[in-house]
Amino acid sequence: MIQPIYLYGSDVLKRVAEPVDLNDKEFVTGLVKDLWETLAVSEGCGLAAPQIGVSRRVAVVDGNVMTDVYPYLKGFRRTFVNPVVVETSETQCEYNEGCLSVPGIYADVVRPEKIKVEYYDENLEKKTEEFDKFAARMILHEFSHLDGVLFTDLVAPIRKKILAKKLQRIAAGKVATHYNSKIK
């Protein structure tokens, strides 16, 4: 079911999400379905469970929406259940990020260029994969949500100061989105 996306200022976005119980397959399946359906109508490239008000360690990413800029992402879709980043590269890269929970704001964020992740997929099969370039960035952005961190928390202090008024407007509900959203 399509869920509203929680916006900046919502408490659920600042909490560290709890792991899901892998034995509760019905809950996991329903949550994953809600994430994919909500992502599809919001036209984003990733969504984490806290963004739909569920403080659990589940996220989805879809590189297909980025193939005009990154053709290598064609067909790249992943579901991450209880993910753990087990390795990151020392090499960092900077990219201008945005977020469905922080509409209309974009800022440069530095993240590792490559990562290695252990996770369960949508069938609850354990996987270990390495990701790089924009795939790694999408994944790390969503995993930050699982730790109660928004991309705006990772920007340079001067940039954060510049963004403060816009963030206050979002938290006050003074923002329009093309998708169903809420602040709580």
Q: Which two tokens stand for residue 24?
A: 């509760």
Residue 8, token pair as written in the block: 């900046």
So which residues are the catalytic ones? Answer: 142
Q: How many CB atoms lie within 10 A of CB 1?
A: 8
For residue 72, give the DSSP letter: G
Contact in structure between 57 and 146 (CB atoms under 8 Å) = yes
Strands 181-182 and 5-6: parallel
* Alpha-carbon torsion, ordered 157, 16, 82, 28, to 10 deg: -120
Q: Which of 61, 83, 59 is nearest to 73 (CA)?
A: 61
Residue 43's identity, in one-letter code, is: E
Contact indicator for 162, 156 with CB cutoff of 8 Å: no
Other CB atoms within 10 Å distance of the CB of residue 131: 20
